[in-house]
Amino acid sequence: MSSRRKNEDKMQSRGQIFNAIHRFIELVARGIFLFIAFLKGPAESQPPIKNLILLHSATTLALKIRNKQLTSKEVVQSYIDRIMEIQPVLNCIVEDRFEEALKEAEKYDELLKSPNAPSVEVLAKEKPFFGVPFTTKDCIGITNMRQTAGLVVRKNTVAESDAEVIKLMRAAGAIPLATTNVSELAMWWETSNCLYGTTKNPYNTRHIVGGSSGGEGCIQAAAGSPLGIGSDIGGSIRMPCFFNGIFGHKPSTGTVSNDGQYPSAQSDDQDRLLAIGPMCRYAQDLLPTMKVIAKKDKLDVLRLDEPIDITKLKFYYMEDDGGQFLTSPVEPEIKESMMKVVSFLEKAHKIKATKLNIKKLKKSITLWMANMSCKDEKDFAYELSNREGHITLWWEFVKWMLFMSNHTLIALFTATFERFTVKHGSEEYSRLIQESRDLYREFQDILGEDGVFLYPTHPTAAPLHHEPLIKPFNFSYTGIINVLGLPSTACPLGLNKEGVPIGLQVVGGLHQDRVTIAVAEELERGFGGWVPPTTVA
């Protein structure tokens, strides 16, 4: 046996031991978190959805407004009323612009009544979301609204202009309604910060909503907004969609402008990972939103109007990442839901999905961290200072223990851990970037323009609050797709035995966004899509 093979076997053996220890810690910690949740009392109940306007898709609302079956003011007021109901329970929004939104809605309604009103056809083409409200996360700038990114020192920071995606949504007739909660500086997958607190899952308030677009995932699932805009650098759209049972799309790299997102990317690698995209309850809203927010010079390559024949697609899947170190095993119910999709494709469309074993996916976390590595010492400690120097980590830990810190514990851990990761520009960094490119080419060779890869969005359903602290690397299932720059659509597949959502992500070849969205629409038809949250006793 060669020395290289022996070393690989030793690494494998050590990895299995580490995973066994980590699994034991997970089980013990979950028991502790369950006990803490029990001491806090039963999960809180949210009001049921009574207003039927809240059950329409954004595109249906736009159609009804254009045809004068509903007024924009009626729709906006309905969502304001719903937010007022759910906010005390879920804590999903951080700032509203209700008065301004109602005034804008009135102007739209007056325009439709005027003799010079545009025709229904013109509105459908030029302003597809005419009079429809929408929300976005507190990282994406809206003029004259706070843009804190969950950082206490930014509590009074106000955006001077709209982010590019907000400009495009406004131009399409949509009305900004509120901004939603995020994790501190959008760098963790539980939405909680020292400025606005913790957002709770609408299916069970003991569980998390994901992050960083967690407030957006929550408000969509609870029918507090018909359409949302999120951003995703390691799964920040797809994880909240998965945990909250809604649809979301991370676009192909570079197809939607990141201008106006804070924190902005600090390197070309980070900018390539970052993507802004739609979050919604109904799959039919994904494509129209992408048509609005995609860069104009990318529309030809995206071919969003080109129809997709599901039966002509090639499907591939993996049930897990092959056993990555320190990552939770994929829960049986999530694997079962994926196999139900595979069975559905075969029965409904005579499509035989092919099971893959892409070994490089076991290095997902390492590859993501290499691509996220900072240069010029602009690390997370620099970001936590609001880009004004660096926070002193040991002192912030002391302050945290004395309940005096303005930072979350996980933010301090993240800044500390980053100091031990691969350094930008190092030999190891160059090797990992090359491995990332090799993996991209492997995926492109497999998927091409007609291939689809089904992959878990996350190994577990929504954890309990604070539970991500002992399973920090579980975001690897989404993070690796950011490294590849490929489009990925999060699709809900119902609820598990505990009554919280599960699903999967649909990954396509570069610029094949319309393909993954078409598959999402088909899975919605086959599995029902969003399930309205019920009150929890």
pLDDT mean over 13-25: 77
Residue 536 has pLDDT above 60, yes or no: no
Residue at 133: amino acid letter: P
Q: What is the CA radius of gyration of the chain?
A: 22
pLDDT mean over 352-367: 97
Nearest to 73 by CA among 102, 110, 111: 102
pLDDT mean over 188-207: 97
What pLDDT was estimated at residue 51?
Answer: 96
Q: What is the pLDDT of residues 278-287, one digit of tens each?
A: 999 999 999 9
What pLDDT was estimated at residue 42?
Answer: 87
Residue 22 has which token pair?
């980590």
What pLDDT was estimated at residue 38?
Answer: 83
What pLDDT was estimated at residue 15?
Answer: 66
127-141, 154-168, 213-227, 410-424: segment of lowest average pLDDT: 410-424
Nearest to 12 by CA among 471, 457, 359: 359
What pLDDT was estimated at residue 225?
Answer: 98
Q: What is the pLDDT of residues 437-486, one digit of tens each?
A: 999 999 999 999 999 999 999 999 999 999 999 999 999 999 999 999 99
Half-sphere exposure of 270 (CA within 13 A, CB side): 16
* 494-505 exposure pattern, b = at least 16 Cβ within 10 A, e = fewer: bbbeeebbbbbb
Q: What is the pLDDT of residues 214-257, one digit of tens each?
A: 999 999 999 999 999 999 999 999 999 999 999 999 999 999 99
- Compute φ and ψ for 334, nearest 5 degrees: -70, -40
Composition of the chain by helix, strand, coil, percent to 5: 50, 15, 40
pLDDT mean over 52-72: 98
Sorting pLDDT into bands at 50, 70 and 90, what band is 3? Answer: low
How far is it, in rounded angstroms, from Cα 504 to Cα 455? Answer: 6
Instruction: Please state whether beta strands 275-280 and 247-250 pair in parallel, antiparallel, or not at all (unpaired).
Output: antiparallel
Contact between 380 and 421 (Cβ < 8 Å): no
| Bridge partners, 314 (sequence order) | 451
Sorting pLDDT into bands at 50, 70 and 90, what band is 534? Answer: confident
Residue at 517: amino acid letter: I
pLDDT mean over 44-73: 96
Query: If you search the block for the tokens 């088909």, which residue do you land on?
Result: 522
What pLDDT was estimated at residue 146?
Answer: 98
User: Helix, strand, or coil here: 362?
Assistant: helix
Cis bond leading into 263, ω under 30°?
Answer: yes
Residue 376 has pLDDT above 90, yes or no: no
Residue 25 has pLDDT above 90, yes or no: no
pLDDT mean over 60-80: 98
33-37, 344-348, 416-420: segment of lowest average pLDDT: 33-37
What pLDDT was estimated at residue 535?
Answer: 47
Query: 404: exposed, middle or buried (C-beta count within 10 Å: 0-12, 13-18, 19+)?
Result: exposed
Cis bond leading into 212, ω under 30°?
Answer: yes
How far is it, in rounded angstroms, from Cα 271 to Cα 264? Answer: 8
Residue 117 has which token pair?
């009103």
What pLDDT was estimated at residue 46?
Answer: 85
**CB contact set of 339 (below 8 Å; sequence gap of 6+):** 319
Element at 25 (helix H, strand E): helix 3-39
| Catalytic residue positions, numbered | 137, 212, 236
How far is it, in rounded angstroms, from Cα 292 to Cα 500? Answer: 32
Contact between 497 and 203 (Cβ < 8 Å): no
How far is it, in rounded angstroms, from Cα 436 to Cα 283? Answer: 30
pTM for the model? 0.95
How far is it, in rounded angstroms, from Cα 468 to Cα 465? Answer: 8
User: What are the distances in angstroms from CA 200 to CA 48, 219, 247, 529?
Assistant: 16, 10, 18, 21
Contact between 56 and 282 (Cβ < 8 Å): no
User: Helix, strand, or coil here: 489?
Assistant: strand
Sorting pLDDT into bands at 50, 70 and 90, what band is 2? Answer: low
- What's the mean per-residue pLDDT of the chain? 95
How far is it, in rounded angstroms, from Cα 135 to Cα 215? Answer: 10
How far is it, in rounded angstroms, from Cα 341 to Cα 523? Answer: 8
Q: What is the DSSP string of 72-108?
A: HHHHHHHHHHHHHHHHHHH--EEEE-HHHHHHHHHHH
Sorting pLDDT into bands at 50, 70 and 90, what band is 55? Answer: very high
pLDDT mean over 133-138: 98
Query: If you search the block for the tokens 């929408």, which residue do you land on?
Result: 134
Enter the DSSP assignment of 328: P
**CB contact set of 466 (below 8 Å; sequence gap of 6+):** 33, 190
104-113, 243-252, 414-423: segment of lowest average pLDDT: 414-423
Contact between 328 and 460 (Cβ < 8 Å): yes
The percentage of residues in the chain with a pLDDT greater than 70, rounded to a whole number, is 97
Sorting pLDDT into bands at 50, 70 and 90, what band is 35? Answer: confident
Sorting pLDDT into bands at 50, 70 and 90, what band is 7? Answer: low
Query: If you search the block for the tokens 């690897």, which residue do you land on?
Result: 476
Sorting pLDDT into bands at 50, 70 and 90, what band is 70? Answer: very high
What pLDDT was estimated at residue 12?
Answer: 65
What pLDDT was estimated at residue 13?
Answer: 67
Residue 1 has pLDDT above 60, yes or no: no
What pLDDT was estimated at residue 537?
Answer: 36
pLDDT mean over 54-61: 98
Residue 62 has pLDDT above 50, yes or no: yes
What pLDDT was estimated at residue 134?
Answer: 98
